[in-house]
Structure formats: structure tokens, C-alpha cells
Amino acid sequence: MGWNSWNKFRTQISDALVREIADAMVSSGMRDAGYLYVNIDDGWQGRRDEKGLIRANERFPDMKALGVYVHSKGLKPGIYSSPGPRTCTQYEGSYGHEEQDAATYAGWGVAYLKYDWCSARAVHQTAEEQRAAYQKMAVALARAGRPIVFAICQYGQNGVGEWGPRTGGNLWRTTGDIRDTWASMEQIGFGQDVWTKFAGVGHWNDPDMLEVGNGGMTDTEYRTHMSLWALPLLRCSPATTSAR
């Protein structure tokens, strides 16, 4: 359980904002209620250096220092990449740099990786290639020297519930992207029963992030949203929220 930047901020995320969120998670009591992850989604990436090492962009001047700050609050930092050459918003992906990126993330103190399919379909075109791409990063994370939760984000394709755990995934998306509307939330929230059999200790179904607080639904609808995501928590999914 934790917070993810995407549904609220898209790519307009920064070091200062992540620190503000970490502070708010402590002062609001969310940390003490078990919301521990502070996940930076797409938009943090800069360029690779001459050795191929990924660097953050100008909005993140020192990722290692940011990781230290998040950990100092009793929280765990998370990050985002793709098995393709580019991410969903055309930032640098991890294709061909899996070992380097996993080691870099570990050095920054990262404890969670969301690995989003997007451009990967241009270089991994079969179901077998998709599984292999996710397993390649899972192996790299296992060698990186620190525990990192691995979130497989490929929208519930190709029977991921069956192979997600075997490839090293801790959770996998069961659906396309949620929208901040009742119709989207209802369709996803009431459609998770078919996935229940795939969840277990250490690996969960992921019906995508909560939209609570973002303004597209009423308070009553948001309470329904939260309840639906919480009901199957022991068997289904660790909830992430983009509400501030």
C-alpha cells in the first residue's frame, strides 16, 4: 500500500513534490495505517551517460538523497520504467540496460519498481517474448542487492495471472488504465472476481491505482471505490492512491 504520482500529477513530478508527499503521509497518519510506498511514476528520467547509466532529469537533482529522505520518514521509495526503449510518455526505458538500471535503482534506495509495457511491444512481439522481458528485469532486481517489489504492468494480457509469479512478479495489472469516473471504476472494481485464484502471499492482482480525491467522482462514489479496492486486499491487490 502506498502512493503513486501518476493519476494526480502525470509527468509533472519533482523532488520537492515527492518530499512533500512523504511528509504528508506521515502527518496524515497514512504511514502508520500501513501506506509505506512513495512511488514516482513516469517522467523522472533524464539521459544516459557515456557508460549507459540512467540519470534523472533536472527536476530530480539527487535521486540517492531523495531516497534517503523518504527512508528517513519510515517510508519506501518506488520508481518506474519500461521493458521497451521508451516509456509511455517517451522517456528513457530500460531495454538493453536491465542490469544497469536495477543496480542503479538499488543504489538510490528504491524499494518498488513499476515496469510498464508501452513501447516494449515494438521489440517484444510475442507472448513468450513479453514473459521473457519481465523475467529479465526480475532476475536483474534479484541480483541488485536489496529487496525491490516488482510490479508487472502489461494490462492483464496473455494470462499474466498464471505466469506473473513464476517470472518474479509481486503484482500484475489485471486491467487497462483506470479513469477518474464512476463508469471506469465500476467496470474494474466489479470485474476482479475472476482474478482471485491467482493471488497469494507475496504476489497479488493489481486493479490499478485508486483515484480517490482527484475530483472526478462524488465522495460517496470514492468511498465505494476505496471499499471495493480494500475488500479483496488479503487476496487481491495492494492499493495505491494518488490522493494528496
Q: How many helices (H) and strands (E) does the chain have?
A: 8, 10
Region 90-114: what's the mean pLDDT?
A: 98
Region 208-232: what's the mean pLDDT?
A: 94
The string of pLDDT tens digits covering residues 45-67 is: 999 999 999 999 999 999 999 99
C-alpha distances (whole Å) from 76 to each of 45, 139, 221 are 19, 21, 29
Q: Is the pLDDT of residue 193 over 80?
A: yes
Find out whether 139 and 99 touch, Cβ atoms under 8 Å: no
Torsion of CA 197, 124, 128, 154, to 10 degrees: 0
Average pLDDT value for the chain? 94
Q: Is the pLDDT of residue 204 over 90?
A: yes
**Residues forming the active site:** 116, 177
Question: What's the pLDDT at 242?
Answer: 52
2-241 is classed CATH 3.40.50.300: no
Cα separation, 7 vs 243, in Å, equals 8
Question: What's the pLDDT at 232?
Answer: 60
Looking at the whole model, is its pTM more than 0.85?
yes
Band (220; pLDDT cuts 50, 70, 90): very high
Cell numbers for 40: 514516482
Residue type (1 letter), 96:
G
Question: What's the pLDDT at 230?
Answer: 87
